[in-house]
Amino acid sequence: MTSAIYWFRQDLRLLDNPALNRAIENVSALLPVYCLPQQERNVWLAQRVGQHRQAFLHQAVTGLKKQLRSSGSDLLSLSGNAVTALIELATKLHIQDIFCEDIAAPEEQAEIDALRRAGLRVTTVWQSSLLDPVDLPFSMDQLPPVFTRFRHDVEKAQCLPPPPLPAPTKLPPLPDMALSGWDQNTPSLVACEEPRSAFPYHLAAYNGSELAGLAHVKQYFESDLPQRYKLTRNGLIGTDYSTKFSPWLATGALSARHLFVHLRQHERQFGANDSTYWIWFELLWRDYFRFLHLQYGSALYRPNGLAPSASSNKHSVIRFQRWCEGNTGEPLVDAGMRELAASGYMSNRMRQIVASYLVHDLGCDYRAGAAWFEHQLVDYDPYSNQGNWLYGAGLGTDPRGGRRFNPDKQTREHDADGLYRARWSTP
């Protein structure tokens, strides 16, 4: 009979959570814990978690706590440094085992190393990708360096995601005295009401909880939007041009494998076409950046990424600041940066345009841009963020990355009527 801590990280859900299931199978008492993100500044002077991400995360954690309570358990939220807080908690409760998901990004790996060095037994389970790495037709050190080849190899081998696990109906009881003596008041955070937002998370339908995420998936695949996804995905305005799954995927409130089941159901009911295929295609991009982390780890975070030599860019704090403020003088880029600051979200097309502008036009360090996105995005995800920034800067594995997006051409192709620039002409 053992007691353990389940540490929720980027997996704030009960449905399809293999790491949580592993814990449930192995213990007699379980204390679910979430560590609130710390608010230190990074080397680029951006606070790690800005107001939008904080508020969206708060919604996810509040929803999770409610679900855990209705399954006979609860959620303890800890503040301060996650490693220190977990060690203190485990010591106080005489617990030796921690279960959690595996995250292949360097800071998250360092947390696990530190817990193990402190004598805790930490069981990690890889679970955030659509495909299981063990099902891939190549070993991780043979991961194709170019996305297209990765996708072809996966499709040729007919590699499919494992079926999602059901949510546990009942959770083990809490260890004795687990919640007494701990401050249970998480600061309440108000979602910013931004009526122009393409991801209006202040509305119930876009709330960060798992239940709102599941409802969004259901209504999205019951609509005809997936039938047109490939034609609309480069849109800039509104909630419907793309799936808007990313914020829930990033907190882990949704599992990619659950999405896949609904995608296939939609195809059976409404028919498969280029657009429904393209949703799978984009989810494979998400996996590809995860697998690159499994292969290269901290090398992806070097100043020159995976490139053999350093970039010739000379970072400018002033140019970077102007970019963050939406004050570069390039109207499309400035509109995008205002959208990001006001709403915590930005379309994929605009992310590509503003990232290219920072690196290729303003000559700044890609890591500063990645840090600003980490601060702002409600869907911040270390794998997709680092992977896309490296790809755009031409410092990843794929030689076709690193192309400059010409702002004039992008404006003509994506905002010819000026509606997007007008919408975000003010902060």
Ligand X SMILES: Cc1cc2nc3c(=O)[nH]c(=O)nc-3n(C[C@H](O)[C@H](O)[C@H](O)COP(=O)(O)OP(=O)(O)OC[C@H]3O[C@@H](n4cnc5c(N)ncnc54)[C@H](O)[C@@H]3O)c2cc1C
Subset of residues 27 to 66 that bind ligand X, contact rule: CB under 6 A: none
Q: Which is nearer to ligand X, 182 or 285 (CB)?
A: 285
Q: Which is nearer to ligand X, 78 or 371 (CB)?
A: 371
Rounded to the nearest whole angstrom, what is the least distance from the CB of residue 141 to ligand X in the complex? 22
Distance between CA atoms of residues 147 and 153, nearest Å:
10
* Residue 128 Cα distances to 102, 132, 164, 257, angstroms: 8, 9, 11, 9
Residue 385 binds ligand X, judged by CB under 6 A = yes
Amino acid at 126: W
Q: How many residues bind ligand X, per CB under 6 A? A: 29
Provide, rounded to whole angstroms, the least separation between the CB of residue 411 and ligand X: 17
**Contact between 128 and ligand X per CB under 6 A:** no
Tell which one of 207, 311, 384, 397 touches ligand X (CB under 6 A): 384
What element of type H or E holds 121? Answer: strand 121-125
What tokens appear for 17 in the block? 């959570």
User: Considering the rule CB under 6 A, would residue 379 count as an interface residue with ligand X?
Assistant: yes
Cα-to-chain-centroid distance, residue 381: 3
CB of 218 to ligand X, least distance (A): 16
Among 242, 251, 397, 410, binds ligand X (CB under 6 A): 242
In the region spanning residues 174 to 233, those forming contacts with ligand X, defined by CB under 6 A, are 233
Per the DSSP assignment, residues forming a β-bridge with 5 are 31, 98
Give whichever of 37 and 173 is closer to ligand X, judged by the CB atom.
37
What is the residue type of 214?
L
Q: Which of 52, 65, 258, 286 is close enough to bind ligand X by CB under 6 A?
A: 286
- Token pair recorded at residue 68: 């855990």
Name the token pair of 345. Answer: 């979200």
Contact flag: residue 352 with ligand X (CB under 6 A): yes
Our finding on whether 293 is near ligand X (CB under 6 A) is no
Alpha-carbon distance 280 to 286, whole Å?
10
Work out how close the CB of 374 gets to ligand X at its nearest, in angstroms, rounded to a whole number: 7
282 binds ligand X per the rule CB under 6 A = yes
Interaction between residue 397 and ligand X (CB under 6 A): no
Q: H helices then E strands: how many in the chain?
A: 17, 5
Q: Inter-axis angle of helices 331-343 and 366-376, to 10 degrees?
A: 40
What number of other Cβ atoms are within 10 A of residue 112's Cβ?
19
| Site residues for ligand X per CB under 6 A | 233, 242-246, 249-250, 279, 282-283, 285-286, 289, 347-348, 351-352, 355, 373, 377, 379-381, 384-385, 388-389, 392
